[in-house]
Amino acid sequence: MRAVDLTNGSPAKKIIAFAIPIFIGNLFQQIYSISDTFVVGRYLGKDALAAVGACSAVMVFITSIIIGLCMGSGVYFSDLYGAREYKKLSSAISTSFIFILAVTGLIMLVTMGFMDQLMRFFNIPDAVMGLARVYLMITVSGLPFMLLYNMSTVILRAFGDSKTPLIFLVISSTVNIIFDFLLVLVWPLGVKGPALSTLAAQIFSGIPLAIYAVRKVKFVSLRPAFEKSVFSKVAKYSVMTSLQQSIMNFGILLVQGLVNSFGVTIMAAFAIGVKIDTFAYMPAQDFGNAFSTYVAQNKGAGKNQRIRRGFRSAILCSTVFSVVVSLIIYIFAPDLIAIFSDADADVIAQGARYLRIEGMFYTLIGYLFIHYGFYRGLGRFNTSIFLTIVSLGLRVALSYLFVGLGFGVASIWWSIVIGWATADFFGFYIYKRRISPVLHKEAALSSDSKVA
């Protein structure tokens, strides 16, 4: 596949061209995730939907650790690729993979060994705990294949190839959707059906893409070796990004625990709403991830003025997209919820209420994704983590405070919006006061040195 050179040409056009395959890939990923929710909600009932929804929140937290490690490593790979340091890049890839594989194995052991304690910690009701246990045990077993897919993806994206992972993801998504219906309707396996479908999809995407990636990057001379001299840099990028992702999703999981305390109807409505919510602002998130690669490649190439131009373009693109999606979600919220649960008026009403509160403010989460990608691409992980703590910390603190004061479940949704807005304020402030002047100064010095 032809790679996209992010260090030359129009920033907006290059970022969009690089982001589109990422978006389409994640679109298919969300489609098969929504397929699980659709099949469970339509054919297995409210209890099964509540169990799968609660487990999905747990799995998002678990996988965020692994995906964060891969994402951080990918930023480092992009930096080295932009600087054309291929020997160091080879060491970074092999060291990263060995490290993340070990972490994945540890996560599987801990999750499977403390399954019941984990579910009780997050207030999963006894009525659905048996279903949740079955679903979670199967999906956790797919983590090694998920690692293969994500590691191969960040390697290829670091080289500007975001199209190849899309092809493998489309195939695996198709497999997942087909198996969802087969294992629930044709062979009625209950919640095991969607769980096994997800596992099959991970296998069909992870193994083939890993084989392709190894063959594709022969110019890097990959070899299985763990080099301590490289690990410190790998750890800085991967662990810090994983920490950010983990904080983010742990905060979401704490909110899920609070939502669970409102009963099965709210849990089911929230499970559907989150799926639609994530689907709606997914392009903005993918754009932020593409922007991170753009920033890292240009940082490695020493093109700081281009980074500033890219930031402005990214903010503009995110604004336009988010406003359009907000209008669509607000208008069609009840209809979207009804797709997954047409027989329960209470679930539809509560789900629509959630979407209409959050949906009005997708612009804020779009800006936050740009900030995350920007600071991660620059290697300023402390700033990215700070923004995550602000957003999620306020979300959790205000949610528990407002609910404790008797404001009801809607106060949780408003707490999320307040967290986004506050984090955005700090993100823009840090950029304007600290980052933009430095990039401008470094760009000017680079220009002067070339003239001299």
Three-state DSSP class for residue 227 = coil
What phi and psi, each to the nearest 5 degrees, are found at residue 440?
A: -65, -40
For residue 220, what is the DSSP state? G
N residues, the chain: 452
Nearest to 20 by CA among 161, 146, 151, 159: 161
For residue 218, what is the DSSP state? G
Q: What is the 3-state secondary structure (H, E, C) of 40-107?
A: HHHHHCHHHHHHHHHHHHHHHHHHHHHHHHHHHHHHHHHHHHHCCCHHHHHHHHHHHHHHHHHHHHHH
Nearest to 234 by CA among 403, 102, 431: 102
pLDDT 10s digit of each residue in the chain, 452 long?
556 677 788 888 888 887 888 788 777 777 766 777 778 777 777 778 777 777 776 787 788 888 888 888 888 888 887 777 777 888 888 888 888 999 999 999 998 888 888 778 767 777 777 888 888 888 899 999 999 999 998 888 887 787 888 888 888 888 888 888 888 888 878 788 888 888 888 898 889 998 888 887 765 666 677 777 778 878 777 777 777 777 777 777 788 778 888 888 888 888 888 878 878 888 888 888 888 888 888 888 788 888 888 899 999 988 998 999 999 999 999 998 888 776 678 888 888 999 999 888 999 999 999 999 899 888 888 898 899 889 988 989 999 999 999 898 899 999 999 999 999 999 999 999 888 887 767 655 554 444 34
**Tokens 């950010």 map to which residue?**
244
Give the CB-side neighbour count of residue 168, counting CA atoms within 13 A: 25
Burial class (CB in 10 A: 0-12, 13-18, 19+), 433: exposed
What phi and psi, each to the nearest 5 degrees, are found at residue 10?
A: -60, 125
Burial class (CB in 10 A: 0-12, 13-18, 19+), 450: exposed
The residues near 120 (Cβ < 8 Å, ≥ 6 apart) are: none
Query: Could you give the CA distance from residue 119 to residue 43 in angstroms, rounded to a whole number?
Result: 24
Nearest to 387 by CA among 348, 421, 426, 351: 426
Nearest to 307 by CA among 245, 379, 381, 368: 379
Burial readout 339-370 (b: 16 or more C-beta within 10 A, e: otherwise): bbbeebeebbebbbbbbbbbbebbbbbbbbbb
**Tens digits of residue pLDDT in 243-295:** 777 777 777 778 877 888 888 888 888 888 887 887 888 888 888 888 888 88
Whether residue 25 contacts residue 165, with contact meaning beta carbons closer than 8 Å, is answered with yes
- Residue 165: CB atoms within 10 A of its CB come to 26
Query: Could you give the CA distance from residue 138 to residue 444 in angstroms, rounded to a whole number?
Result: 55
Q: Would you state the pLDDT for residue 423?
A: 95
Whether residue 200 contacts residue 179, with contact meaning beta carbons closer than 8 Å, is answered with yes
The residues near 177 (Cβ < 8 Å, ≥ 6 apart) are: 31, 32, 35, 197
Three-state DSSP class for residue 284 = helix
